[in-house]
Amino acid sequence: MKYTKILTLQEKINNSLPGLDAHIAFYPLRFIKHNAEDFLNFRKSAVAVHIYPSNESSNDFSILLIERSEYEGTHSKQIAFPGGKVDPEDESFEHTARRESFEEIEIPFDAGIFIGKLTEVNIPVSKFNVIPYVFFHETLPPLKRNEREVNEILSISISELVDESNRKATSIKVTNELTMPNVPCFIIQEKIIWGATALILNELKTICKEIWDL
């Protein structure tokens, strides 16, 4: 069956997540100063992990990412998943992930099959708890970026994600005054992926390595 790997991914996401074991390998050192009690007061947010076939002739799949626009804020220019904070009008966290995907890159609200959610990620620097929702698209709809929020729409393949040569550590310039050394990250297609996005991707990578037998 064409989407056997996706069905297996769905089964694993809903039955046995690597969780913290996958996250901790990509924790910047500043995360370690926080504990579970801190996270209880963080705001809720949700992101969408959109997966789709890389092309018709390949058995590989791709993951949609965005590069955030430059702005005066914590996550300026970072590689991220479409997503954001929960609005009072949102019916669920899944609703938040779908709404933000439409607002940022115009993925229709009802596009994609929900296949499960990954482990919540805590972001001390912006005080958010992020829940990743995974969607599968047989065909990715046309995309259009929100120019105010999104600098670029990107995609990486699962083959690139599970390739251990793309796991690195580098210095990250957070502000003009602060550069963090030796931050665990992925460097894929010359883009540095770190922080919460790297944590989410590493959990997905851990699951996919079993399925892809790599």
Chain segment 35-68, per-residue pLDDT in tens: 555 677 789 999 999 999 998 667 889 999 999 9
Question: What CA–CA distance (Å, rounded) separates 50 from 113?
Answer: 9
Q: How confident is the model at residue 210 (pLDDT cuts 50, 70, 90)?
A: confident
Of 111, 105, 124, give the one whose Cα is nearest residue 27.
Answer: 124
Q: How much is the mean pLDDT over the chain?
A: 89
Torsion angle, CA of 206/86/51/7, rounded to 10 degrees?
70
Range of lowest pLDDT (74-78, 146-150, 184-188, 207-211): 74-78
Question: What CA–CA distance (Å, rounded) separates 116 from 191?
Answer: 27
Torsions phi, psi for 76 (to 5 deg) = -55, 130
- Going by C-beta distance under 8 Å and a sequence separation of 6 or more, which residues neighbour residue 94? 46, 114, 117, 133
Q: How confident is the model at residue 87 (pLDDT cuts 50, 70, 90)?
A: very high
Reported pTM: 0.91
Is the model's pLDDT at 213 over the cut of 70? Answer: no
Is the model's pLDDT at 74 over the cut of 60? Answer: no
Looking at the chain, the whole-number percentage of residues with pLDDT higher than 70 is: 88
Task: Tell me what the mean pLDDT of segment 141-155 comes to.
Answer: 96
CATH value of 4-165+194-212 in 3.90.1150.10, 2.40.10.10, 3.90.79.10, 3.40.50.150: 3.90.79.10
